[in-house]
């Protein structure tokens, strides 16, 4: 049976790849180009313990996905800048029961530019470069037989078919992976997914820290060629762009953590929309007559391998999906 994926972000590409590897015929419909939105804008932090915020389901599922990451990336055969960098949390309260305190020489070794007395340390968390991730997953999916159609906007979904904006109708099993735009796809039952804009900036300093740093109101993500500083959390609907206040916020926060960054060359700023959900966890499962994998909020990069594997298990073998991800849990 053919499967039609609506949306070519990381979630859509990962689901397409998984289904094709398990023998399905898959077409992925993307209204722009694959990776145009949140998935290539994201910071690329894989930090399930910090992002769980005390939610045990989120922590367990996030750790499971992190545990899959290295093998999943190896199967892509591409370098996406993945590194088990560890995460520093420069906040008073402990972020997780596994966190230990780092101070003095150890802290200076991990993050020479950081001007705090001590920070919490989680050694297993990782990072990757989201500029390279979707192209790598897309290439692997194409090699596995997935057909991508760019510049194709889906207007409506129904059980067993999609209707495109230009009136074309395609038949197949439907999986909606439309990120923050999921509620705009007609034919779905009401799903509480909303856009949460995040603004990020990059500066040229690559020596301030080797680990991801979470501060009181944002984070620093070291890449080989830049330091990403982010991110705002804004309820502004689908208003695109970067604002002076948003860029000031992320730069101020970064400079507060590492004052020498004030002298670093400013490279660029950008924004995109997180697919927000009321409890921060995704909506993965049946919704009406179609499948949906959306609402990954702040953790869609982290959760992509697990989402794809669990959804494919459910679609092909009838396996149960995590109850914490049920799309109807807010009803
Ligand atoms: C600023 C920022 C920082 C982030 N940092 C991190 C991080 O460090 N770690 C982490 O794990 N997560 C992070 N995230 C979250 C992560 O980026 C998202 O959860 C994830 O990318 C969602 O993937 P997606 O494929 O669902 O959505 P998207 O990447 O947004 O893809 C959805 C795709 O669907 C397409 N589409 C929509 N409607 C239609 C339609 N009708 N027809 C055809 N195509 C359609 C869109 O064009 C888009 O390409 C961040 C997000 C942002 C915005």
Q: Going by CATH, does the domain composed of 87-123+194-276 fall within 3.30.9.10?
A: yes
Which of 48, 157, 164, 298 to mutate for ligand 1's pocket (most ligand atoms within 8 Å of CB)? Answer: 298
Q: What is the pLDDT of residues 54-88, one digit of tens each?
A: 999 999 999 999 999 999 999 999 999 999 999 99
Please give the model's pTM, rounded to 2 decimal places: 0.98
Q: What local confidence, expressed as pLDDT, does residue 12 receive? A: 98
Asked if 120 contacts 110 with a C-beta cutoff of 8 angstroms, the reply is no
Q: Which atom of ligand 1 is nearest to the CA of 231?
A: 1
Q: What is the pLDDT of residues 250-303, one digit of tens each?
A: 999 999 999 999 999 999 999 999 999 999 999 999 999 999 999 999 999 999
Residue with tokens 């020479």: 112
Percentage, residues of the chain above pLDDT 90: 99
What ranges make up the beta strands (E) of the chain? 2-6, 25-30, 45-46, 87-89, 100-103, 118-122, 126-127, 147-150, 154-158, 161-164, 169-171, 173-176, 194-203, 212-215, 218-222, 227-230, 266-276, 283-287, 290-294
Q: What local confidence, expressed as pLDDT, does residue 230 receive? A: 96
> Ligand 1: does its nearest atom lie under 6 Å from the Cβ of 37?
yes
pLDDT at 235 over 90: yes
Distance CA 141, CA 123 (A): 31
Asked if 38 contacts 223 with a C-beta cutoff of 8 angstroms, the reply is no
CB atoms within 10 A of CB 269: 19
pLDDT at 202 over 90: yes
CA distances from 308 to 21, 209, 313 (A): 11, 32, 9
Average of per-residue pLDDT values in the chain: 98
Distance spanning both ends of the chain, measured CA to CA: 31
Q: What local confidence, expressed as pLDDT, does residue 1 receive? A: 81
Topology of domain 1-83+127-191+278-331, CATH: FAD/NAD(P)-binding domain (3.50.50)
Q: What is the pLDDT of residues 124-155, one digit of tens each?
A: 999 999 999 999 999 999 999 999 999 999 99
Q: Which atom of ligand 1 is nearest to the CA of 134?
A: 29
Query: Please, where in the chain does CATH 3.50.50.60 lie?
Result: 1-83+127-191+278-331
Reported confidence tier of residue 27, pLDDT bands at 50, 70, 90 = very high
Q: Which atom of ligand 1 is nearest to the CA of 34?
A: 49
Query: Please, where in the chain does CATH 3.30.9.10 lie?
Result: 87-123+194-276
């Amino acid at each position: 049976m053919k499967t039609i994926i609506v949306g070519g972000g990381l979630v859509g590409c990962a689901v397409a790849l998984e289904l094709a590897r398990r023998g399905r015929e898959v077409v992925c419909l993307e209204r722009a180009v694959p990776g145009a939105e949140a998935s290539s804008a994201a910071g690329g932090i894989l930090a399930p313990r910090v992002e769980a915020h005390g939610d045990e389901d989120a922590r367990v599922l996030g750790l499971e996905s992190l545990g899959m990451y290295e093998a999943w990336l190896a199967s892509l055969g591409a370098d996406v800048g993945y590194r088990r960098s560890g995460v520093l949390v420069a906040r008073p309260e402990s972020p997780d029961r596994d966190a230990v305190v780092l101070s003095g020489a150890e802290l200076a070794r991990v993050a020479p530019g950081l001007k705090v007395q001590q920070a919490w340390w989680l050694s297993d968390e990782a990072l990757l470069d989201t500029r390279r991730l979707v192209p790598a997953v897309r290439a692997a999916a194409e090699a596995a037989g997935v057909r991508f159609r760019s510049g194709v906007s889906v207007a409506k979904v129904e059980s067993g078919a999609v209707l495109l904006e230009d009136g074309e109708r395609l038949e197949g099993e439907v999986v909606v992976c439309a990120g923050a735009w999921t509620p705009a796809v007609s034919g779905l039952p009401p799903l509480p997914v909303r856009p949460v804009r995040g603004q990020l900036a990059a500066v040229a300093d690559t020596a301030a820290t080797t680990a991801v740093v979470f501060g009181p109101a944002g984070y620093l993500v070291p890449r080989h060629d830049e330091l990403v500083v982010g991110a705002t959390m804004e309820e502004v609907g689908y208003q695109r762009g970067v604002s002076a206040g948003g860029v000031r916020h992320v730069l101020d926060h970064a400079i507060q953590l590492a004052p020498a960054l004030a002298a670093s060359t400013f490279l660029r700023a950008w924004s995109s929309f997180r697919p927000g959900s009321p409890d921060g966890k995704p909506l993965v499962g049946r919704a009406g007559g179609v499948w949906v994998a959306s609402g990954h909020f702040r953790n869609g990069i982290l959760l992509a391998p697990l989402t794809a594997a669990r959804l494919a298990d459910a679609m092909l073998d009838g396996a149960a999906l995590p109850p914490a991800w049920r799309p109807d849990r807010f009803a």
